[in-house]
Structure formats: C-alpha cells, structure tokens
Amino acid sequence: MITTSRLTKKFGKLAAVDSLSLDIPEGEVFGLLGPNGAGKTTTINLLITLLKPTSGSATVNGIDVVKHPAEVRKNIGVVFQEPSVDDLLSGKENLEMHAMLYSMPGELRRRRVEEVLELVELTDRKDDWVKTYSGGMRRRLELARGLMHHPKVLFLDEPTLGLDPQTRQHIWKYIARLAKEENMTVVLTTHYMEEADLLCSRIGIMDHGKIVALGTPKRLKHEVGGDVVVLKQEGFDRSCLKGLKFVKKVKVDGDEVFLTVEHAHENLQRLLSAVGRVRSVEVREASLNEVFLKYTGRKYREEEEGAEGGWAERTMNAEAQRD
Amino acid sequence: MAFEAGKIYAVWLREVKRFTNSKARIVSSMGQPILFLVALGGGFSALIPGFNYMAFLLPGIVAMTVMFTSIFAGVSIIWDREFGFLKEMLAAPTSRETIVMGRILGGATTALLQGVLMFVLGMLFTGVAVPPLANILGILVLMTVFSCYLVAAGIAIASVVQEVETFQLLMNFLVMPLFFLSSALFPLEQMPAWLRDISSLNPVSYAIDGMRTLVIGTSHFGLLYDFGVSFGILAIAFAAATYFFNKTSI
C-alpha cells in the first residue's frame, strides 16, 4: 500500500528523513516510533504530499507522491499532530466542508457525516461550535474528519499527544475498531510505547531520519532478550546462577541485581530457589521502552512531550494569543 | 489552472459561515465607519457651509468598510496557518487556484454585505437620495471588483509574510495609508499637489471616485478610468494571489 525508496528530505544540511526505504502492506497498522526530531512528522508530510522530497521516491496506493500529488490526496485521510479544525464552525459544518473538498455527493455526504459523528460519539454536540469542545472532543472530531471520505490509508500524527489517559484510551479504542471495520491501512506516529504496543501490527523505530529497528511489537521485545528481574540482596554471588540457562545477563549495582531473564513469570520460582533469601524482588516485563533504549541509546522519557508542547496545550496557547 | 465549482463553493461557504457565525464581528466592524461618518462628516459639514460633506464622505466610508473586511479576509490565511486549518485545505485533493478563488469570492461576499449595509445606513444619516437602478448596479459591480482585488492582495501578502505577529502591523501600515492617502476624505482637486499626486497613484482612489460619481455625481477621474483601473488592479492582484499562494507551504 505504501512503499518508499531511499526517501530523503533535507532542511539545509540536516537530513530529517535519511534514505528511508519502507514497505507497508494493505490493512496494516504501522507505527513510527521515535524521539523528538527523529523525522516522523517529516516522513508523514512527505507521504501526504505536503512536502516534496529532496531525493528518493514514494508511492501511496501505487501512486507516486511527487508526480501525482492530487491523486494521492484522494486516497488518504490525515489527522495532523497539531489541531486543524475550524473552531468558528460547528463540528458538523467542519465535516460537511471536508466532504465537499473531497467531492462527496450530497446524499453520501449527509449519511457519512451522521455515521462518523455517531462513531466518535459527537452526535449530540454536532451543532455546537468547535470552540466549545474539549481537547479530546476536538481530537475525536479530527479523527472523524480523517475517516469521512473512506480513505485507503489513514495517517495519524501523534493522535493522542497531550490528552489525558482516559481520553487516550477512548481514542485507541476508536482507532483499533476503525482499522478493523473499515479495513484501512493506518500509519501512525507516536510518543507512547503503550499506544504502539496496543495498536500496531508492526513498528518501525526511527532515529536521525532512519529506521533503526523494524518488526512486530512481540518480535522487537523478544530481541531485547527477555524480562528484567531486579533483586535486592546483600552479598550476591553470581556463581549461584550456574546452570540457569534462562538467565541471559547479570548486572550488579550496589545491593541491587539486574537479571535479564527469559519468561520470568515461569522461571521466577527456580531463580529465587537458586539465589536464596532476598529482601525484595521486582519483575519488569520486556517492554518497548527497553527496545527503544537499545536502538536509540536514549531513554524514552514521556516528559519530552513538554519540549514539543502537548497538543491540547498548544491549542490553548494559540487561543490565548488570539484573544 | 484548474477550478472546481463544488470545492470553490465549499471554501466560499466556510468564509460566509465564519462571518455569519460571528455576529459580534459584524456589529463591531460597522462601529468605526459609522463613527467616522457621523463625527467627521457632521463636524466638517458645519465648517463648510453650503457643502454636504457627509454626502461626499459616504462613498469613502463605504469603501473603508469594504476595505477592512476584504483585507482582513485575505490576510486571515495567516491565522489559518497558525491554527492549522490551512493544512486541512492543502492536504485535500483541491487545487490551490480553487482555494484562492473560493476565498476571494467568500471574502468579497462578506465585504459586499457589509458595504451595502453601511451604504443603506449611511443614506439614512446623510439624506442622500437613492440613486437610479443603473447606478446601483454600477456601484455593486465596482464594489465587487474593489473587494475582490483587496482580498486577493491580502492572500498574496499572507502567503509571503507568514508570521502572526505581522498581522496587526499589516492592517495598520497597509489599510490606514491606503485609506487616508486616497480620495476617501477630501476632494482631490482641493488637495495640496503632493497629496493629490500620491492619492492619484493609489488604486483605492479610483474605486471611491467611481462610487462617488454614481452616488452624488461628483467625479474626478471619470467613470471609465475608475472602472478601468479597478479591473486592471483585480487582474494583477489575482495573478499575484495565485502565484504566491501556489508557492506557500505549511
């Protein structure tokens, strides 16, 4: 559905997207994960034809993004990282205008507006100004808008950035349902490991404009080598682990012992019998956090959001500026 | 160039809806022109006996209303960029020409509505007689052309200057001189030569002169010039708007 071949975008000397080659099959929910400035949004902007690549090529639904941008746009839906609904119009008016820009005939347009409003549970607020919507409601409206014209590919740039956990889960639910019901190919970028893990059938970890790791969440997690068991024990002796094949790595830091263990839940009993009495034990399941750390050498801190500014926060800033 | 009627309509409709959705804006944008007409017009009329200055001023004030609304409509692309809405339009399968066309027509529609409203109110205040039908049609055509070229100019400027901070600056340093250095407030033939020269170079003078001719019959340039210059400027402004908007990015 999407292929890119040595796709490159340079801003001055900096290559925001660096010779990226990707292949995303139809029906896949593909996640682009990466720290700020990794080139996720630039990649999306290249695929949705808002930016022209410096070199390389890309096709969406078999159509070349440089040669036929207008054709590409007919096939895609986009939910931008930053808010992009008109807050001086009502929710319904926003959707209607979108439908007209995508040349949807009147009958279909009316039906579809009601359908997507229903889907994101905004039917009872459809005639209110978007100005009066909460951050989560706006986001849902944008999702609805992105879906209206039955795109073949839906691009979601940080769909839940800056939203509260409850709203975030709500939106995850929608995305998962939509991908299934409408059989769409979805490309999403995200900051949240949990989001990628939950929604994506495949994940590409991006850093410095390149994909540094690619695979299903399960495989990526497997690659880090297993779960982490943290023991607190004074005078730990590594020789007690002899013969325990499921222990892959050992690191001692003061009275804390970090063990990389395969299938920790099943093997914990045997491990503890071998180690003897401990003060405490903690099992950390392998998560994408570890995967991320391994490939980018950076810890995935969610506070980083602050640097870019949360979505909702930016909406509010923009509004404050206008008043 | 590719225009798509349905999509032009969509963009037009948005402009009109945004306008009708904000009643406060309509009222507040009428306040200033009315104040100008009543205070300035009333004051000067008393100063110059035998000259209905208010009637002379009316076309200038109508033009002022149209100018503010038109340029605001064009330049508001800056706001659309800031609030992200521009992306929605640019990512849609819609040509840039269509967007420019829709915005010009939408902006002109709202400006025309205000212009007409101002004109009717003004006639009540000044006691100017209702012009014959042919003149009314002429006024509407001229106002439309005038408004379209101002929206187009606004779009061209907003496509190049992208910072929100310059918005107010533009409004002050563009709209105010265009208004004051024109035939809006005083008869050109009685102005000092330097002011008359500047005002004669200002296209706004021609639109106002044309309207004044059709309302009270006082002409400076002649109707042919008034319409000719206005249509000429429209062609140039439209070309500039499509050219620069085509180059603009998110």
pLDDT of residue B2: 59
pLDDT of residue A106: 87
The answer to whether B26 faces chain A, any CB pair under 8 Å, is no
**B88 and A70 in contact by Cβ < 8 A?**
no
Residue A97 in domain: yes
Distance (Å, rounded) from C-alpha A205 to C-alpha A213?
Answer: 5
Distance from A226 to chain B by nearest Cα, in Å?
Answer: 43
The answer to whether B93 faces chain A, any CB pair under 8 Å, is yes
Distance (Å, rounded) from C-alpha A192 to C-alpha A277?
Answer: 37
pLDDT score of B240 more than 50: yes
* A200 & A245 share domain: no
For B103-144, write each residue's pLDDT tens digit: 999 999 999 999 999 999 999 888 888 999 999 999 999 999
**B93 and A73 in contact by Cβ < 8 A?**
yes
The answer to whether B189 faces chain A, any CB pair under 8 Å, is no
The answer to whether B24 faces chain A, any CB pair under 8 Å, is no
The residue with tokens 């507006």 is A113
Average pLDDT over residues B143-159: 95
Q: What is the mean pLDDT of chain A?
A: 84
Sorted by where each begins, the domain ranges of chain B are 5-247
Residue A104, CB-side half-sphere exposure with 13 Å CA sphere:
23
pLDDT of residue A160: 84
Distance (Å, rounded) from C-alpha B131 to C-alpha B136?
Answer: 6
**Can you list the residues of chain A whose pLDDT is less than 50?**
300-323
Instruction: Name the 3-class secondary structure at A211.
Output: strand
CB-CB contact of A47 with A58 (8 Å): yes
* A236 & A196 share domain: no
CB-CB contact of B11 with B95 (8 Å): no
Better-scored residue on pLDDT, A308 or B234? B234
* A131 & A240 share domain: no
In chain B, what are the helix, strand and coil shares in percent, each to the nearest 5?
80, 0, 20
Q: How many CB pairs under 8 A join A and B?
A: 81
pLDDT score of B13 more than 90: yes
Residue partners of A4: CB distance under 8 A and separation at least 6: A20, A21, A22, A46, A47, A56, A57, A58, A59
pLDDT of residue A299: 53
Task: Please tell me which residue of chain A has the smallest CA distance to B81.
Answer: A84
Residue A62 in domain: yes
* A131 & A239 share domain: no
Distance (Å, rounded) from C-alpha A246 to C-alpha A225?
Answer: 10
**B4 and A103 in contact by Cβ < 8 A?**
yes
**B164 and A321 in contact by Cβ < 8 A?**
yes
Q: What sign has the CA pseudo-torsion B220, B221, B222, B223?
A: negative
CB-CB contact of B243 with B211 (8 Å): no
Concatenating the DSSP letter of every residue in B51-99 gives --HHHHHHHHHHHHHHHHHHHHHHHTHHHHHHTTHHHHHHTSS--HHHH
Q: What is the mean pLDDT of chain B?
A: 90
Domain ends where: A221, A250, A265? A221
* A201 & A231 share domain: no
pLDDT of residue B170: 77
CB-CB contact of A189 with A40 (8 Å): yes
User: What is the reported pTM?
Assistant: 0.82
* A196 & A256 share domain: no
pLDDT band at B4 (very low <50, low <70, confident <90, very high): confident
pLDDT of residue A309: 43
Chain B neighbors of A48, CB-CB under 8 A: 91
pLDDT score of B42 more than 50: yes
* A119 & A147 share domain: yes
CA angle A309–B170–B174, rounded 5-degree value: 170
* A247 & A214 share domain: no
Residue A278 in domain: yes
Domain ends where: A221, A237, A257? A221
Domain around A258: 225-285
Give the CATH number for residue A231.
3.30.70.260
For B171-218, write each residue's pLDDT tens digit: 778 888 999 999 999 898 888 999 999 999 999 999 999 999 999 888
* A20 & A74 share domain: yes
Q: How many domains does chain A have?
A: 2
Task: Please tell me which residue of chain A has the smallest CA distance to B79.
Answer: A322
Share of chain A above pLDDT 70, in %: 92
Of A84, A103, A129, the CB nearest to B84: A84
CB-CB contact of B119 with B208 (8 Å): no
The residue with tokens 């939203």 is A163
pLDDT score of B222 more than 50: yes
Report how far apart, in Å, the C-alpha atoms of B182 and of each of A202, A214, A240, B21, B212 are: 65, 65, 95, 33, 13
Of B6, B83, B88, the CB nearest to A100: B6
Domain ends where: A191, A221, A251? A221
**Which residues 142-171 in chain B show a CB within 8 A of chain A?**
164
Of B94, B106, B93, B85, nearest to B18 (Cα)? B106
* A240 & A217 share domain: no
Concatenating the DSSP letter of every residue in A245-263 gives TTEEEEEEETTEEEEEETT
ipTM comes to 0.84
Q: What are A281's two structure tokens?
A: 């034990």
Q: Which of A88, A92, A187 to mutate to test the interface with B (most CBs of B within 10 A)?
A: A88
Share of chain B above pLDDT 90, in %: 60
* A170 & A209 share domain: yes
Residue A317 in domain: no
Exposed/middle/buried for residue A266 (C-beta within 10 Å: 0-12, 13-18, 19+): exposed
Residue A314 in domain: no
Q: What are A299's two structure tokens?
A: 């810890």
Residue A11 in domain: yes
Distance (Å, rounded) from C-alpha B211 to C-alpha B59?
Answer: 6
Chain B neighbors of A76, CB-CB under 8 A: 91
Task: Please tell me which residue of chain B has the smallest CA distance to A42.
Answer: B250
